[in-house]
Amino acid sequence: MNVADLITGDSILINIESKSKKNILETISKNLANGDDNQKDTIFDKLYEREKLGSTAFGKGIAIPHARIPDIKSPKILFMKLSEGIDFDALDKKKVDLIFSLIVPDTKEDSHIEILSKVASLADSEALTQKIRGMSDEQEILDLIKNNLKS
């Protein structure tokens, strides 16, 4: 599977304003559900359930909310650049301003781990995340993420 193919122009949201983790999870759910209200609710419930197990913020202002979702056909990635950082219960106490969200079908355990690993290594690159923070064009961010997911 080419993880870079999971992210498209519709998968990049910039200058998102939010005051809370719950609001961000709602925004993620709405965007990944593509207008399906039932799926939106399921995605939110699963992401929220995962956050209750422990924060998906891993430090340096980055979070990777993720979940396995019943009744979806293929994995999806959504990237959000917030206009201001929010509290995401990160271990390092830094506010989160970059969010890579991932949902996968609940039947494909291996793909979940593979995709999460690639997204986490991308998000762990200080040089890449600093470059993204300096960008304001969705297409430039998309190209940068796609190119780095391929490697």
Mean predicted confidence (pLDDT) in 108-128: 85
What confidence tens digit (pLDDT) does each residue in 46-76 have? Answer: 999 999 999 999 899 999 999 999 989 889 9
Q: How confident is the model at residue 110 (pLDDT cuts 50, 70, 90)?
A: confident
**Is 66 part of the annotated catalytic residue set?**
yes
Domains in the chain (CATH in brackets) are 3-150 (3.40.930.10)
Q: How confident is the model at residue 4 (pLDDT cuts 50, 70, 90)?
A: confident
Contact (Cβ atoms closer than 8 angstroms) between residue 99 and residue 66:
no
Q: Which residues, in sequence order, are bridge partners of residue 63? A: 57, 99
Q: How confident is the model at residue 1 (pLDDT cuts 50, 70, 90)?
A: low
- Provide the sign of the torsion angle of the four alpha carbons 10, 68, 40, 36, taken in this order: positive
Q: How confident is the model at residue 40 (pLDDT cuts 50, 70, 90)?
A: very high
Mean predicted confidence (pLDDT) in 83-87: 96
Which of these is catalytic: 66, 68, 81, 118? 66
Q: How much of the chain, in percent, has pLDDT values that exceed 70? A: 97
> Tell me, what's the pLDDT at 97?
97
Q: Which residues, in sequence order, are CB contacts of 124 under 8 Å at separation 6+?
A: 58, 60
Q: pTM for this structure?
A: 0.93
